[in-house]
Amino acid sequence: MIDGTRVELVLRRSARRSFALQVDHRGARVAVPLRTSLYEVDRFVRSHGRWLLDRLQARAQTPAAPRLAVEDGGELPLFGRALALRVAEGRRTHWRLGPDGGEELVLPAGIDPTRALLRALQARALAWYRGRVEEYCHRLQLPVPAVRLSNAQTRWGSCSSRSGIRLHWRLIHLPPALIDYVVAHEVAHLVEMNHSPRFWAVVEALYPAWRTARAQLRAAAATLPLIGVRHAGDSDPIGQQGRGLAVD
């Protein structure tokens, strides 16, 4: 109970050194080191009680993300612009320019159009991300690491000295400037594997407007479409949720 409000929390213990409290589409979660006592967990949560209640209230008031039914004439954002969907006979997915000069994606009616759409978006995303990572690595005169797609539940991106950079495929819905912020953030981790002032100085050098972009990214998360029709009792596929994602 926090200020008279019952709050349900998921407790996660791991080989970490610090405490963390997070609110996302799944609710409130607290992560703590392995040997932390429940007393210490309770004290930590209560010390952030007002913040927790404010976040839960804001989450409850956030409108649901739009759900996209994959059908002929449908539309979704691609790099911040409208992408028209066309479903036609055949088994080949392809991109083309529409009559108005905008981009269209033609999906084959002969196979599951939702799966075809996801494959096309993810292939497009990976090609784009690799180019942007290469650009930011060039600015820092760093070798280009492996770049892979992510379906992470809570992170837009991550960086590892062993496996390289992972970027969430759903970033492809956002304007290029916001994607670039996430890319710059992860490339900066190749220099500083932390979030120290030195790290943010690298981010600043790569992407001076990172503060504005970070705020815009948080606001945009809940507006991204959920692809596919949800039936009663279904759960969202991994990577479809738009809330709670952060840059790590």
Same-domain check for residues 162 and 49: no
Whether 215 has a pLDDT exceeding 60, the answer reads yes
Asked whether residue 2 is domain-assigned, the answer is: no
Same-domain check for residues 57 and 81: no
Same-domain check for residues 51 and 127: no
Supply the CATH number for residue 220's domain. Answer: 3.30.2010.10
Nearest to 151 by CA among 127, 171, 179: 171
User: The domain containing residue 55 runs over which residues?
Assistant: 9-61
Asked whether residue 101 is domain-assigned, the answer is: yes
The pLDDT value recorded for residue 131 is 97
Euclidean distance between CA atoms 69 and 67, whole angstroms: 7
Helix (H) or strand (E) segment spanning residue 165: strand 164-168
Q: Check if the beta carbon of residue 21 is closer than 8 Å to that of residue 45.
A: yes
Among 3-17, 58-72, 92-106, 181-195, the range with the most confident prediction by mean pLDDT is 181-195
Nearest to 173 by CA among 243, 76, 85: 76
Asked whether residue 1 is domain-assigned, the answer is: no
Q: How far from the centroid of its chain's Cα atoms is residue 10's Cα?
A: 21
Mean predicted lDDT score pLDDT of the chain: 86
The pLDDT value recorded for residue 174 is 96
Asked whether residue 143 is domain-assigned, the answer is: yes
Same-domain check for residues 80 and 57: no
Same-domain check for residues 72 and 186: yes
Tokens 């084959």, residue?
Answer: 108
Asked whether residue 94 is domain-assigned, the answer is: yes
pLDDT tens digits, one per residue of 118-140: 999 999 999 999 999 999 999 99
Total of domains in the chain: 2
**Higher pLDDT residue, 232 or 70?**
70
